[in-house]
Chain A
Amino acid sequence: MSYRTVIGLEIHVQLMTKTKAFCPCRADVFELPANTAVCPVCTGQPGALPVVNSSMVEYAAKIALALNCNVHEYSRFDRKNYFYPDLPKGYQITQYFYPIATSGYMDIDVDEQVKRIRIRKLHIEEDAGKLIHEGDSITQAHYSLVDMNRCGVPLVEIVTEPDLSSPKEARLFVEKLRTILRYLQVSTGDMEKGALRCDANISVVDEINNIQSNRVEVKNMNSFRFIEKALEYEEQRIIDALKNGQNVEKETRGWDLSNRITISMRGKEEESDYRYFPEPDIPPVILSEEKLDQIKSTLVELPDQKVERFVELYKIPRYDATVLAMDKEIADFYEACVKKIGKPKEVSNLIMTEMLREMKQLETEQIKITPEHIYELFSLMDKGEISIKMAKDIFPQIFRTGKMPSQVLEEKGIRQISDEKLIEEIVRKAMIQNPKAVEQYRSGKTNIIGYFVGQVMKETKGSANPQLVNDVVKRLLEGSS
């Protein structure tokens, strides 16, 4: 390959603090009726002043620590000045000159390899409102409405170095970041609801001719899949241009979901001058060492640490540990099960296959299954009352209803058949019906045993104890009746 892709990300994270960044309005405004979570401060009334929400600073510091950043004792707010109807003050309060944190990193797993992505800076800022254009098109609309609920919702912006070298890596980075945010309980991380927003800067280097393309900014990628799709599309578009001896425009493009392409959002328009200057209404933020230590002490075990611990403690494959640690709830669930049951690998198998599959189909957030259910399931298997296959068969029902495994078995009328006489009867019948197979076995073709086991399973609808069936078939075929 003679083309090398260079990607850097700018990610906005909505913090789930109780109140907004600089006023007492509630911060969880998604889907609230328009302009119902507003006050003089966030609507930019003349004379209103911002007051820093201290939880916001704590949340930001938590994220910064989790991303191995250098968290600064002194940071400051600045004004970014521009005109737009969703920005009631005519400026956004952000951190430009002295961000709260710089120079961190996050490791991602790419094809079984660990890759370190450096983080340039992390700063706090406020969100803007929303415009609703009549008829949904900004160019055709006769009027537009402004919803200021989102004005002043606290955001953390994370800017990476251009260390990502493929669209897949970009997706993996954002996925991992979301996992961390959820571990920290500082953001819902819901991309669909705009709680996690990702913009990317992408360029491609033609390594043979040593030419780097212009950098293109891609926006509107509001799901993990679209991050990868949009960047793949853009990557190819740039490579095609380079192949033809051309370059792409240095511009901002948006992912067009319906046509699955990126389209130009702004022309070549010169860069805006935001006239940044220190926000005179807010004193500098001082995060003392003690305060930072206190925040550090509240940090939970992060995914990377959890993976290491799971591998070490439970001796499960790194792959398993990584999958389990992707979701803190799953990881906690897994650990609770293993503590009760033991069998770390078997439990991991069950959770990774059966439980994760069910969770993907789950529509509500409510999970009814508890480690108690898994414990009973394993006990039933241990006692030989059900097979692993039966356990898997009834799992969906346990998961969806929250009923105990024994209750599900009873209701379904399924019970493992461990009645030796009954099994013998079925085997004998099969032997009579198929004397040829018996002969084959006795002449040394011992793998014909599977046929008889299959017959028993067919007759019992799979509920016979497999170990017992095996024993009985062997014993009868060998003629020691």
Chain B
Amino acid sequence: MFEKMTIEDCLNYNREELITQSYERIRSIDPVIKGFITVVEKPQINDGPYRGIPIAIKDNIATKGIKTTCASKILENYVPPYDATCVKRLKDYGFVILGKTNMDEFAMGSSTERSAFFATRNPWDTDCVPGGSSGGSAAVVASGQVVAALGSDTGGSVRQPASFCGVVGFKPTYGLVSRYGLIAFASSLDQVGPITKSVRDAALMMEIIAGKDPFDSTTVSRKIDFLSQIEEDIHGMKFAVPKEVYEYEQLDGEVAERFEEVIRTAQKLGAMVERVKIPSMKYAVATYYVIAPAEASSNLARYDGVKYGLRIEETGLRDMYMKTRNAGFGEEVRRRIVLGTFTLSAAYYEAYFNKALKVRKIIANDINQVLDKFDAILTPTSPIPAFKVGSISDPLTYYLMDIFTVPANLVGIPAISIPFGFVRNKPIGLQIMGKRFDDGKVLRIARNFEKTSPYNDNGRIRLPVVRI
């Protein structure tokens, strides 16, 4: 069954057939799921240990010669002249890029409804969203159209859709994976991460995409071992659960119940779980929604109609700029550009942006202090399971859903979401956050949960049966 295969399964499979099967699956399933913006017709097949294994790339990661749209009208026809570093590395190892996946425009959103082109559907319930912003990547992996995918995570955009679609999503320590070629949303928060059908696959992809890149000065040269300790037990480890999780009003009752099972599972694995207070965590969302839009307002200034992408012709320069950007950006993107432009303006810089930078430091201190005493922090990935397409319209409700995922981005620490049970027949995720550069340990803890979870079959996550 191709659709259930992990990267490791593929290694012992006839490689020539993988691509054919992947295409067949895309042809039959994707008209319902709508995970792809672009399906590559003639993929480039390189030699390498992973030759012929089909993967998908989120459409905000540059692929040479393949349209990269950010799910935005402003880049609707943009074909990058270069490969992102992470893409290049995967290609060098033989992975085959079969397509570019749908997302919320410029990665701004948590449902993939904010794509300028179409909404992607959740393979577990096609009335529901797949989460976002890497909803396309999560959906095409969960529905078995490709073996694995890359997403990007600025405030939970890999982990939350992984949680909604019941797959594994990993956000590495900031600086481990090159951002060269990742179309910037908020540069100090963005990080590329794998979306896979197993924790081992996530570790395996990290082995390939992580590492110092001379084209990204924010990457670090530190060598991380993602895979070799992954099967070791976690006996004697100590986990912290923030009390704030339970105080959060929007936490779904059934999600809270599943989370209690997480704690029991941890204890079964010989780990100790303690509730701790991280008071500054409640400011994380507010801090995030000052810093991310501010950086975005600057990062998105280059889409001006002059060099590439959409241009609405006008006689005056100012009019050309305004009409182009108004037509090219969707409502949510425009909202965040306005927000960021405001908080960076000279009159408000101190009151908003600079204050947010200070609060970010406080949150980092608080969380790092907890991680000095504990091996990891556990939370639900999202306070709710996947919701129905079109059911949430208020932007603030959207923003508040990021409560558990944004801290990891603000602090720059590794965090993973793995499937842990179901709520009303939809998967939910467990998030594990670790200390900076403890990516290997986070994956090892995740692997232990994966092996022991009562919702998995012999340590393998359950995948949806897509009704066509």
Contact = CB atoms under 8 A, between A and B. Distances in A.
Contact of A47 (B181, B217, B301): B181
Contacts of B186: 280
Interface string B164-201: 00000000000000011111101110000000000000
Interface size range of chain B in the complex: 35 or more
Interface in B41-72: 60-62, 68, 70
A350 interface: no
A85 interface: yes
Most buried by A among B188, B215, B218, B349: B215
A52 B214 CA distance: 10
Interface stretch (A37-45, A204-212, A315-323): A37-45
Interface residues of A, number: 28
Contacts of A373: none
A443 to B, nearest CB: 91
A36 B405 CA distance: 44
Interface of A: 40, 43-52, 79, 81, 83, 85, 88-91, 146, 273, 275-277, 280-283
B301 A48 contact: no
B307 interface: yes
A280 to B, nearest CB: 4
B232 interface: no
Given A47-B183, A51-B217, A283-B218, A79 B298 contact: yes
A85 B62 CA distance: 23
Contacts of B295: 277, 280
Q: Which of A47, A48, A51, A281 has the most CB of B within 10 A?
A: A47
Contact of B349 (A48, A88, A277): A277
A203 B420 CA distance: 71
Interface in B203-253: 214-218
Contacts of B78: 46
Contacts of A40: 80-82
B118 interface: no
Main secondary structure of the interface of B (DSSP, over half): loop
A46 B217 contact: no
Given A40-B82, A51-B214, A277-B344, A90 B301 contact: yes
B307 A47 contact: no
Contacts of B70: 46
Contacts of B179: 47, 49
B341 interface: yes
30 contacts: A44-B307, A45-B80, A45-B82, A46-B62, A46-B70, A47-B61, A47-B62, A47-B80, A47-B181, A48-B82, A48-B181, A49-B216, A51-B214, A52-B217, A81-B301, A83-B301, A85-B304, A85-B317, A88-B306, A88-B307, A89-B302, A90-B300, A90-B301, A273-B346, A275-B297, A275-B298, A275-B345, A277-B298, A281-B216, A282-B218
Given A49-B180, A49-B217, A275 B341 contact: yes
Given A47-B180, A282-B218, 7 more contacts: A45-B80, A45-B82, A47-B84, A47-B182, A81-B298, A91-B298, A277-B294
Interface of B: 60-62, 68, 70, 75, 78, 80-82, 84, 179-184, 186-188, 214-218, 294-295, 297-298, 300-302, 304, 306-308, 317, 321, 341, 344-346, 349, 353
Contacts of B217: 49-52, 281-283
A90 B218 CA distance: 21
Contacts of A276: 344, 349
Contacts of A43: 307
B353 A277 contact: yes
Nearest to B187: A280
A144 to B, nearest CB: 8
Most buried by B among A46, A89, A273: A46
Nearest to B346: A273
Nearest to B69: A46
Q: Which residue of A81, A88, A275 has the most chain B CB atoms within 10 A of its CB atom?
A: A275
Contacts of A281: 184, 187, 216-218
Nearest to B295: A280
Contacts of B82: 40, 45, 48
Given A46-B70, A48-B180, A51-B215, A85 B306 contact: yes
Nearest to B342: A275
A87 to B, nearest CB: 9
A51 to B, nearest CB: 5
Contacts of A280: 186-188, 218, 295
B349 to A, nearest CB: 7
B304 A83 contact: yes
A47 B308 CA distance: 13
A52 B295 CA distance: 20
B406 to A, nearest CB: 16
A283 B220 CA distance: 11
A429 B341 CA distance: 97
Nearest to A40: B82
A51 B184 CA distance: 15
Contacts of B81: 40, 45
Contact of A90 (B60, B182, B214, B298): B298
A23 to B, nearest CB: 9
A280 B60 CA distance: 19
B302 A275 contact: no
Contacts of B62: 45-47
Given A43-B307, A49-B180, A89 B294 contact: no
List 6 tightest A-B contacts by C-beta distance, closest first. Answer: A90-B301, A275-B344, A280-B187, A280-B188, A46-B183, A47-B181
A286 to B, nearest CB: 12
B302 to A, nearest CB: 5
Contact of A46 (B75, B188, B294, B344): B75
Contacts of A88: 302, 306-307
Nearest to A51: B217
Contacts of A52: 217
